[in-house]
Every structure is written in structure tokens, then in C-alpha cells.
Amino acid sequence: MKIFKELMIKATRLFDFPARFILLLIMLLVVGNIIFRLLGKPVDGSHEWVGFLTGISISLSLAYCALREGHVSIPILFDRLRGRTRRCAELLVNLFSLCLLIILVRMIILYGNRMLAGGHVGMNTGVPLHYFAYIIAFGFFVYCLVVVYNIAENVEEMIKR
């Protein structure tokens, strides 16, 4: 379990680092475009690239956000539960989240496949759009792994007690 936890932390951090770097890259691209625009030579397709890069950055940090319990939830009633009831409820919620996330991963991959089949490309950049759909699906897949880890932790705690 410990090894699993360490691996999970390392994996989510590994994907969060490029996400941080991409955020800086977006800033540079935006500022660069303004400077070049002043010089009469704006960066072609910069708006599209900013959108794509934001998508990549957000997708890669979804799992890290989940690991740090950053996704908003309402704890008022749930936190009043105690003992076995609470652990069971936690397990059920995590199972529900996992099912939904698996459906989402599949959905987004299929969406990307449709983009690939339709030959969708960025209007100004000409970049194939399906790549970004696959990256988003990958982000959700890593989020799934965090939920799997939470489930394993729930089960371990239930067995221990």
C-alpha cells in the first residue's frame, strides 16, 4: 500500500510538473503575441495555441488536484457520520466517482476518434484536434488511478478494523 501511495504521488507530480511549465509557456506566448502585434507581426494562431496549452495543463493537473483533495465537495452532513457507516459511505462515493470517470475517459476517447475520422484541425494552426482530446482523456485516466488508490485505502482501513 505504501509503495502504491508513493508511486501515485510520484506519478501525479510527474504530470503536474509539465502542467506548471505549460502555464508559464502560456504567459510567454500571450505576452510575446502582444509584443509582436505591436511590431505588426502577430503570432499566427496564438489564441488557438493558448486554448490547446490550457487544455493540456488542466488535464495534466486534474489528478494532482484530486490527490490534494482540491476538487470541491460539501462535507457538512458526511462529516457527521462515524465509524463503519462513514467508511462504507466513503467507499460507495469513491466507487461512484470511479465509474463516472471511466465512462468519461471512454467518452472522450470516442470523441477524439470521431475528430480523427472527421479530419478536424485547428482553424488557424491546422493542428489535428484529436490529440488534445486524447490528452484530456489521459488526464481523466490518471484521475481514475487516484480514485482507485482511495478505494484501496478505504478497503484496507475496513479490513484493519
Partner 1 sequence: MSLLVMGISGILLLFLLFFLKVPIPLAMISVGYLGYGAGTSFTAANRVAAGDIYTTFTAYSLSVIPMFVLMGFLGCHSGMGTRLYAFAYKAVGSLPGGLAMASQVACAIFGAICGSSTATTATIGSIAIPEMRRYGYSTSLATASIAAGGALGIMIPPSVVLVLYGVATEQSIAMLFLAGIIPGLLLTLLYMAVIFIVTLRDPSLGPPAPSSRFDLKKLIGSLGGELWGIIFVFTLSFGGLFAGWFTPTEAGGVGVAGIIFVIWAQKQLTREVLNKALADATRTSAMIFLLIAGATTFGRFITLTRLPLDLAHWTGALPYPPFVVLLIILSIFLALGTFIDSLPLMLLSVPIFFPVVVNTLGYDPIWFGVMMVLVVTMGCITPPVGINVFVVKGIAADVPLFVIFRGIWPFLIAVFICCIILIVFPQLATFLPRVFG
Check if the beta carbon of residue 118 is closer than 8 Å to that of residue 42: no
Instruction: Assess 123 for contact with partner 1 (CB under 8 A).
Output: no
Q: Is 72 in the site for partner 1 (CB under 8 A)?
A: yes
**Nearest Cα residue to 137 out of 100, 97, 104:** 104
- Residue 144 is a binding residue for partner 1 (CB under 8 A): no
Q: How far apart are CA 53 and CA 58, in angstroms?
A: 9
Tell me, residue by residue from 10 to 39, as one string, x for binding to partner 1 by CB under 8 A and - for no binding.
Answer: ------x--xx--xx-xx-xxx-xx-----
Q: Which of 26, 4, 50, 36 is nearest to 145 (CA)?
A: 4
Of positions 11, 43, 65, 151, contacts partner 1 by CB under 8 A: 65
Helix 130-160, helix 83-118: angle, nearest 10: 160
Nearest distance in Å: CB 143, partner 1: 9
Footprint of partner 1 on residues 74-113 (CB under 8 A)?
Answer: 74-78, 89-90, 92-93, 96-97, 100-101, 103-104, 107-108, 110-111
